[in-house]
Structure 1
């Protein structure tokens, strides 16, 4: 009888331990799911439901090289818009992205979503990171 109880407790502890998530994993999921909603409301109309962009007018969000090399600028692009030529995935775009007056936490969430969707894997973009980046906008 004692062996069965101890065995059941051991199995229960293993299941509980395996189902626990770290604070970082929980934060990532919270940012990612919230970012999905922000993306649908503010970005999807132009950049597409799969981040594919729009022909030669609007760049795709599927180029992780561009995103990684401009990570410190992405919050500024969202907050202040973007003008001038950019090259994404080997193609040049010269249209204007309008500024979007969303909060820093919404920017962090949508960047986490974009940075981990459409083939991208860049981890969480935190509120602190966005706040620091917004201070350095040019």
Structure 2
């Protein structure tokens, strides 16, 4: 799969925010190059510059990316409260959650699992 900034590929400009988000994601120099040249990145290049997290070989069903995303969602969604709040509220929520987590055995298990490069085995303690 190959990608370019769509506004550059179409020689147009629309208010999608790509010219603002891209430099924040990959740096001004590379963003300018990609925007002005409309150069297309392949999956490996996109991963190397941090635009994507995974590069997958397509399967026969044609849904390799969907399956990867579904697996990640199943892993993360039970653990994450997904909502939109303003920055101050979000930081307050994060601080409250952090305070609740500090004294737990699960926090220590998470740190140990990360150090040992293995999935954590949480017990709710």
Q: TM-score, normalised by structure 2?
A: 0.25
More strand per residue: 1
Q: TM-score, normalised by structure 1?
A: 0.24
Higher relative contact order (CA 8 A, sep 6+): 1
